[in-house]
């Protein structure tokens, strides 16, 4: 048995956990809510039915003269050039 779940159930403070399979969230989220904590899962692949979201485009002011350059820079950070990684 992993030590992660017992620690999530025991620790009373805020926690940020990387949980690729969603197992830790599934086991501990309800308990943490029951003790009055806010629980959110950033879950872009819908493994744990997360409710937290992040839209990097919200950081770009569409009225800014630099908006197009900022969008290009963001795209360059997100998308790997062809032939680099993920082959």
Q: Could you tell me the sign of the dihedral formed by the alpha carbons of 32, 34, 35, 40, in that order?
A: positive
pTM, entire model: 0.55
Listing DSSP states for 29-58 in one string gives HHHHHHTT-----B-TT-SS---B---GGG
- Residue 41's pLDDT is 84
Q: So where are the chain's domains?
A: 1-51, 54-82
Euclidean distance between CA atoms 84 and 27, whole angstroms: 37
Residues of the chain with pLDDT below 70 are: 1, 45, 48-51, 83-87
- Residue 86's pLDDT is 55
pLDDT in tens, 1-26: 589 999 999 998 988 888 888 899 99
- Residue 87's pLDDT is 52
The torsion region of residue 17 among left (phi > 0), alpha (psi -120 to 50) and beta comes to beta
């Amino acid at each position: 048995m992993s030590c992660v779940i017992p620690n999530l159930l025991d620790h009373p403070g805020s926690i940020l956990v990387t949980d690729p399979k969603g197992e830790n969230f599934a086991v501990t989220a309800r308990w943490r809510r029951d003790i009055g904590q806010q629980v959110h899962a950033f879950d872009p692949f819908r493994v744990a039915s997360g409710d937290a979201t992040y839209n990097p485009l919200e950081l770009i002011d569409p009225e800014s003269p630099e908006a197009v350059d900022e969008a290009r820079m963001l795209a360059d950070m997100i998308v790997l050039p062809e032939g680099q990684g993920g082959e």
